[in-house]
Amino acid sequence: MNEYIALLVLLLTTTKGVQNDGPADFELYREDVYYFCYYVMKNQADAEDLCQEVFVKSDHG
Task: Find out whether 57 and 9 touch, Cβ atoms under 8 Å.
Answer: yes
In this predicted model, what pLDDT tens digit does every residue of 7-23 receive, in sequence order? 877 777 676 554 556 66
Per-residue pLDDT of the chain (61 residues; tens, 9 = 90+): 678 787 877 777 676 554 556 666 677 888 888 888 898 889 999 999 988 888 887 775 5
DSSP class of residue 22 equals T
Query: What's the pTM value of the predicted model, to 2 decimals?
Result: 0.70
